[in-house]
Amino acid sequence: MINMINNNENKGKKLQVILASASPRRKELLMQIGIDYRAVPGTAEEYTTKTEPAEVVQELSYRKAEEVLAGLVRQGEEDCLVIGADTVVSHRGRVMGKPGSEEAACQMLSCLQGSIHQVYTGVTLLVREKGQQSVCHTFYEKTDVSMYPMTEEEIRAYAATGESMDKAGAYAIQGRCAVYIRGICGDYNNVVGLPVGRLYQELKSLGVLECI
Amino acid sequence: MINMINNNENKGKKLQVILASASPRRKELLMQIGIDYRAVPGTAEEYTTKTEPAEVVQELSYRKAEEVLAGLVRQGEEDCLVIGADTVVSHRGRVMGKPGSEEAACQMLSCLQGSIHQVYTGVTLLVREKGQQSVCHTFYEKTDVSMYPMTEEEIRAYAATGESMDKAGAYAIQGRCAVYIRGICGDYNNVVGLPVGRLYQELKSLGVLECI
């Protein structure tokens, strides 16, 4: 189990980990690495002032974390670490979010098949200790993903599984789409939705990890 | 669901898929991609005449598949596709299998932390159609894995989780060890134990895939 602790005045006091996301993949990843958390998804509509994928995901991860922290503080909940994250796919300069329909999913997959694209996940960590200013730390990870060519029939059959619908770029690397992935360069979990390797290293640098 | 079919005389007849392995990770990966299989692990002791990791895993994958197919044929079971696989870790010319003890796991992790190593999985596909010669196809995939530095305390704590014991190189990329993985180059599932992307493409080339 990985615990988070205060490192300021109330040194040693446990920090509650709040995942500002409803994504089942992000929840599974935190469980996989042994972080005990509570999921508190935000409700605000996502909007971004940026165009570069690395900036888009960092801004959106910050907005998600900030909205959720503000809600907690209003309810008097402090001594917490809020994790916000956002993932997009970028292909030849075009940023792809989640497809709005099965048809849109097929179009995205037609672009991605047989080539290399980038997956960006931005993460914001907001550490709030009682009576202190929040500490904010934002970063992103980029992973290159190379896909095998897919026939039209394969694209339609994959989109029909329904796996595409809530995923940036219309595919789940951890699902059926695994058969169309030639390889990646970077963190696999970044493609799933949360770069847990980098996350752990950043938590270590922030000095909030109690033990592994 | 992905089905396998005969493509010779009894064209269209379904082939039974046999996984010649007891590995729970390989079973999960076949389930993930929708292949209906039966696991029939071999019992022969593993031995290799090779020293190069790519040759070691190919030879061992062949021996596993061959032993299991021979058993099936003796029992009159034909019309099947047998999948054998073997995974090793290679670090600076040294091939690592599974650790024999927690102490051996700590030693392996001490070597691997803070550097890049290679994971090789060899796969053999044996297609046996009634009254025909078996068709044999063997290949391997290599993935580079880069690990963050680990402290001695982290190594001991990780080895104490017990995750190391039945894994080549003493770690599970899909488990707690994810926090120590900086990134990979190649197929992630190859590190888990079965390169399902390449496997699917090879099955397609062999002409035994019915549909996706």
Which two structure tokens, joined as six digits, stand for A211? Answer: 């033990």
Which of B79, B86, B144, B166 is flagged as catalytic? B86
Q: What is the pLDDT of residue B212?
A: 45
Measure CB to CB from residue A179 to each of B175, B179, B197 and give the nearest one: B197
Residue A37 clears pLDDT 80, i.e. is over it: yes
In sequence order, which ranges of chain A are alpha helices (DSSP H)? 24-32, 53-74, 102-112, 152-160, 188-192, 196-206
Q: Which residues fall within 8 angstroms of residue A95, CB to CB, at 6 or more apart?
A: A51, A53, A56, A88, A89
- The mean pLDDT value of chain A amounts to 94
* Catalytic residue numbers of A, as ranges: 86
List pLDDT tens digits, range A79-116.
999 999 999 999 998 999 999 999 999 999 999 999 99
Residue among B122, B87, B119, B98 at smallest CA distance from B193: B87
User: Is B179 in the A-facing interface, judged by CB distances under 8 Å?
Assistant: yes
Cα angle for residues A117, B198, B83 (degrees, 5° grid): 155
pLDDT tens-digit readout, A142-198: 999 999 999 999 999 999 999 999 999 999 999 999 999 999 999 999 999 999 999
Q: Produce one character per residue of B63-101: b if its CB has 16 or more CB atoms within 10 Å, e if not.
A: bbbbbbbebbeeeebbbbbbbbbbbbbbbeeebbbbbee
Residue A22, chain B, CB below 8 Å: the answer is no
From B181, B187, B196, residue closest to A197, measured CB to CB: B181
Average pLDDT over every residue of A39-53: 93
pLDDT, mean of residues A127-133: 90
Instruction: Give residue A5's pLDDT.
Output: 76
Is A71's Cβ below 8 Å from some Cβ in B?
no
Whether the per-residue pLDDT at A8 is higher than 80: the answer is no
Do the bridges between strand B4-5 and strand B37-39 make them parallel or antiparallel, or are there none, so unpaired? unpaired
**Tokens (6 digits) for B73:** 């044929």
Q: Which residues of chain B have pLDDT under 70?
A: 7-11, 211-212
Backbone angles phi, psi at A208, to 5 degrees: -105, 0
Cα R_g (chain B), whole angstroms: 18
ipTM: 0.94
Q: Are A30 and A193 in contact (CB under 8 A)?
A: no
Alpha-helix residue ranges (DSSP H) falling in A147-206: 152-160, 188-192, 196-206
Residue A144, judged by CB atoms within 10 A of its CB (0-12, 13-18, 19+), counts as middle
Q: Token pair for residue B39?
A: 């696991």
Contact A184 B181 (CB under 8 A): no
Q: What is the pLDDT of residue B160?
A: 96
Determine the pLDDT at residue A212.
45
Taking the C-alpha atoms of residue A41 and residue A64, their distance in angstroms, rounded to an integer, is 8
Is the Cβ pair A211, B157 closer than 8 Å?
Answer: yes
Interface size A-B, in CB pairs within 8 Å, comes to: 90
Question: CB burial class (10 A; 0-12, 13-18, 19+) of residue B152?
Answer: exposed
SS3 state at A106: helix
| Neighbouring residues of A176: CB distance < 8 A, sequence distance ≥ 6 | A158, A161, A163, B32, B33, B34
Q: A72 vs A59, A65, A67, A84, CA distance in Å?
A: 20, 11, 9, 14
Q: Does A34 touch chain B (CB under 8 A)?
A: yes
Secondary structure class of A115 (helix, strand, coil): coil
The Cα–Cα gap between B63 and B45 comes to: 10
Contact indicator for A177, B212 with CB cutoff of 8 Å? no
Q: By the CB < 8 Å criterion, does A116 face chain B?
A: no
pLDDT reported for residue B3 = 79
Phi/psi of residue B120, nearest 5 degrees: -115, 130
pLDDT at residue number A10: 58
**B176 vs A33, A176, A201: nearest CB:** A33
Hey, which residues does B98 pair with through a beta bridge? none
Kindly list the residues from chain B whose CB atom is less than 8 angstroms away from the CB atom of residue A31. Answer: none
pLDDT the model gives residue A87: 97
